[in-house]
Amino acid sequence: MSAPHEVDLASATVRSLNAALHVLPPDTNQTHWLIQNPGGKHALAAGLDAPVTVEIAGHAGYYCAGMNKRATVIVHGNAGTGVAENMMSGTVHVRGDASQSAGATAHGGLLIIDGNASARCGISLKGADIVVKGSVGHMAAFMAQAGTLVVLGDAGESLGDSIYEAHLYVRGQVASLGADCFELPMTDADRAELAEKLIAAGADASVDQFRRYGTGRTLYHFHVDNAAAY
């Protein structure tokens, strides 16, 4: 990879940074960007639609790499609320911890969090893959519709509440399961899927250490006996 194009946010603005990234032509040779002194600023590298790599040398604020498409965004630090929110494709890699709602509504791509993720990780997940190498907080994968959430650590309360068809894999302890989320048998197809996600995220773990969780489909149609769960 060639020497990166550096942007120092001690003097440049986030608006100018994102504007420069948004106008990159398909044949750009500026495929590697390094963001210095991010200072926890919000919306860093948001709305990208180019096959470039953006490295953020420090902590990022809210909605870093939101709406990402095709790009690889690496945060060498922690990320605030909504990292990779509504991601469509590409890869977002947080080397530290992530705040709440990581990967919210993400349709595609891969989100890797090396540390822990706070509450509602993968809320309303719509097809992306999320691998958390630490633990996740309460209500992870709330209303998750498709995609996978892999947690190498523990999961907080109400995992998978009101889940649709997303697949959840947890290696550690689960504090409690949300409405309509159940432990399910691990099939050969599940093991193959999980192994693929672990390899993609560079996670050193055996599929045999995980348990799978998903929908019991009890909330698909209204039934008065389940009224308290809606």
Domain boundaries, the chain: 5-229
pTM to 2 decimals?
0.94
**pLDDT value at residue 3:** 86
Query: How many Å apart are CA 63 and CA 150, to the nearest integer?
Result: 21
Query: How many Å apart are CA 115 and CA 76, to the nearest integer?
Result: 11
**pLDDT value at residue 98:** 98
What are the residues whose beta carbons fall under 8 Å from the beta carbon of 91, sequence distance 6 or more? 72, 73, 109, 110, 111, 112
**pLDDT value at residue 60:** 98
**pLDDT value at residue 221:** 63
Q: Tell me if the domain spanning 5-229 has CATH number 3.40.50.300.
A: no
Q: Which positions of the chain have pLDDT values less than 50?
A: none
Per-chain mean pLDDT for the chain: 95
For residues 172 and 135, the answer to whether their CB atoms sit within 8 Å is yes
